[in-house]
Amino acid sequence: PACAETLVISYGPITLEALRVAEFRGFDMINIAKLRPLPRRLIDVARQYEHIVVVEEAAGAPLARQLGMMELGARIESFALPDEFPHIYGTRDELLARAGLTAEAILARL
């Protein structure tokens, strides 16, 4: 795309929620296999977008932080686990919902 609007980037098990967000809004989507080093192709593609939504099931948003340091020229929105111990118990789905990492919660915040 020549300066397309929004790209969703994700990795790991949370990618299903990210894909639901991308499909609902009609955004483009990339799923990556590793964070380090970031795939060169990802950086090249990301530079073509005005808005990047990063969805990651990791504390501290490591992918969003890396992208934020690269001067891509895009607005980057990060959806990640908080960088703190949750102090609650539950299933993975319950913990993700509590952290706002469901497709519905992400869509409501976009």
pLDDT tens-digit map of 48-97: 999 999 999 999 999 999 999 998 989 999 999 988 887 888 999 999 99
Give the burial string for 23-51 (b: 16+ CB within 10 Å, else e): eeeebebbebeeeeebeeebeebbeebee
Give the integer Cα–Cα distance in Å for 35 and 93: 23
Take residue 48 and report the two structure tokens written for it: 């073509």
- What global pTM score does this model have? 0.91
